[in-house]
Amino acid sequence: MTSFIDPTTLKSWLHDGGEIALLDVREHGQYGEAHLFYGIPLPFSRLELDAPRLMPRRGVRVVVYDGGDSDVAERAARRLAVLDYTDVHVLQGGTRAWKAAGHALFAGVNLPSKTFGELAEEVYHTPRVSADQLAEMLARKENVVVLDGRPVSEFHKMNIPTATCCPNGELAYRVRRLVPDTTTPIVINCAGRTRSIIGAQTLINLGLPNPVYALENGTQGWYLNDHRLEHGGTRRYPADSGNADLRPAAKALAERFGVPTVTAQTAQQWAGDVSRSLFLCDVRTPEEFAAGTLPGAQHTPGGQLMQAGDQYFGVRGARLVLFDDDGVRAPTVAHWLRQMGHDASVLEGGLASGLSLAAAAAPSAPALATIDTQTLSARLAQGDVTLVDLRPSMQFRAGHIPQARWSIRPRLANDLKNETRQLVLVADDAALAAWTAASELAGLSPAPLLLEGSMAAWRGAGLPVEATPALPADADCIDYLFFVHDRHDGNKEAARRYLAWETGLVAQLDARERSAFRLPAASTAPHA
């Protein structure tokens, strides 16, 4: 039987000091329009794929919610029970009830991290330069280095001219090779505000002697001031740019902010604690992680762990144990996580600690029979199958198989309620399609099939593809958050709205949400 709770109970639980996983089980576009501050995005369409990674302890207290206008949360709760989660509750009335109870709803993504960045600027008074000031410095060919604190994939979309990609989690480890002269000014940028702030303040907190600034409003501020952005950039930190010179500074920084160092033995004991969740976090680069990591670790690149932690751990109050192989990155990242209110520690010895944990158990996806491209083409010509594309809506718009219709798991059964022909599913992730079919299409005869090789195989066979830029309609694209994406597509008004959203986050906090952060008093914070 489903357990329901009211907003008052949930608000109490969120601040009682115990572990809790608060899951928004709507799709990404719905989540991003209005959600609870601590809500972790776990779309119903990906529930079985991501729940074990975000919530490795099956006995953790879980609350799921939707918009209050559907049964998605109840369906998600039942699926979590199938996955052996034993303490699952549904927020009665969803976001509607939460708002009616007088609590704020927030738009956007990665809310706690972005809000923290704005608070950090208030406390640390992080120095900044405007887009016009930086443009003048570059035009005068001043000796200034621009470092872009975003991941490589985001840098590739657009970047400030002359900038080098160095994600925030890598700054402490690589800055001395990238900027060997201690008098050269350094400007850190991101796409908006908060990663610029955190990146610049990281170097300041480490005591770097260089003048360090955050680029006000990042690439969006640059674009709004009519300066040219570059696209397709590949300039990034060299693989051999790692340098442990700042290890003493990183250690001192961690000590100043109360970051514990734990042994492999302690971490092993924590892993056996059935009352607490544990996440072992490798904060190094994707290439380093792929070359070898500790058993039971997940890849959590340091910059993203600080700025998008809800993509890597879904349990508020969990233990986070960070490690690297240099003694610089993990303590630097951890000092921010502690200020965010997380129980973050650094693993003594890092990669060389010998720690070995069991990986989080993930259920195997059900079997789903496949159909090849030529057979599907022939059956489409005969008209005896219904083709359903489960890929993201924007990918469907850009190109899909003729006769295909787009759908998504929460709506699938309703979309197909009048279909009698055999279903063929198109999905880039076979496990996603299999879980969707098992949950939403169980009992159909004949059983659904999966297109083998997805669209890549279809295109590779030279078969026709059509684009429908307006279909599905915007209102149906519940997996896509338009206001976040449009700001990078030449829409200045969307960029202005986004920046106004970022700067307005702090004002939306209530007293308990604000007090959960552990920033130092403004009078004791290190300034430039």
Return d(Cα 340, Cα 514) in angstroms, integer.
10
Which of the 8 DSSP states describes residue 404?
-
Q: How many other CB atoms are there within 10 angstroms of residue 512's CB atom?
A: 12
164 sits in which H/E element = strand 164-165
pLDDT at 1: 73
Return d(Cα 459, Cα 437) in angstroms, integer.
24
Q: How many other CB atoms are there within 10 angstroms of residue 511's CB atom?
A: 7
What residue type is 298 in one-letter code? Answer: Q
Nearest-CA neighbor of 103 among 513, 518, 515, 516? 513
Return d(Cα 515, Cα 60) in angstroms, integer.
24
Nearest-CA neighbor of 456 among 405, 400, 409? 400
pLDDT at 501: 85
**What confidence tens digit (pLDDT) does each residue in 383-403 have?**
999 999 999 999 999 999 999
pLDDT at 13: 98
Q: Is 22 helix (H, G, I), strand (E, B) or coil?
A: strand
Q: Note whether 35 and 24 are within 8 A (CB).
A: yes
Return d(Cα 124, Cα 88) in angstroms, integer.
40
Residues of the chain where predicted confidence (pLDDT) is lower than 70:
483-490, 522-528
Structure token digits, residue 286: 């994707």
Q: Note whether 63 and 5 are within 8 A (CB).
A: yes
Return d(Cα 155, Cα 145) in angstroms, integer.
16
Q: Is 344 helix (H, G, I), strand (E, B) or coil?
A: strand
Nearest-CA neighbor of 407 among 380, 422, 425? 425
Cis preceding linkage at 446, omega within 30? yes
**Packing angle, helices 111-124 and 492-503, rounded to 10:** 70
Structure token digits, residue 241: 């740019």
Return d(Cα 8, Cα 134) in angstroms, integer.
48
Q: Which residues neighbour 104 within 8 Å (Cβ) at sequence distance 6 or greater?
A: 37, 508, 509, 510
CA dist 516 → 316, 346, 374, 512 (Å): 11, 21, 57, 6
Please report which residue ranges of 15-93 form alpha helices under DSSP H. Answer: 28-33, 47-54, 72-82
What's CA 161's distance to the chain center, in Å? 27
What's CA 396's distance to the chain center, in Å? 23
3-state helix vs strand vs coil in the chain, percent to 5: 40, 15, 45
Q: How many other CB atoms are there within 10 angstroms of residue 122's CB atom?
A: 13
- Supply the Cα-derived Rg of the chain in whole angstroms: 24
Return d(Cα 170, Cα 331) in angstroms, integer.
12
pLDDT at 487: 56
Structure token digits, residue 487: 């700001």
Q: What is the mean pLDDT of the chain?
A: 94
Return d(Cα 96, Cα 80) in angstroms, integer.
23
pTM equals 0.94
Burial class (CB in 10 A: 0-12, 13-18, 19+), 125: middle
Burial class (CB in 10 A: 0-12, 13-18, 19+), 261: middle
pLDDT at 521: 76
Cα-flanking dihedrals φ and ψ of residue 146, to 5°? -105, 120
**What confidence tens digit (pLDDT) does each residue in 199-250 have?**
999 999 999 999 999 999 999 999 999 999 999 999 999 999 999 999 999 9
Give the position of tokens 């908060």. Answer: 194
Nearest-CA neighbor of 402 among 467, 492, 473? 467
Return d(Cα 349, Cα 61) in angstroms, integer.
32
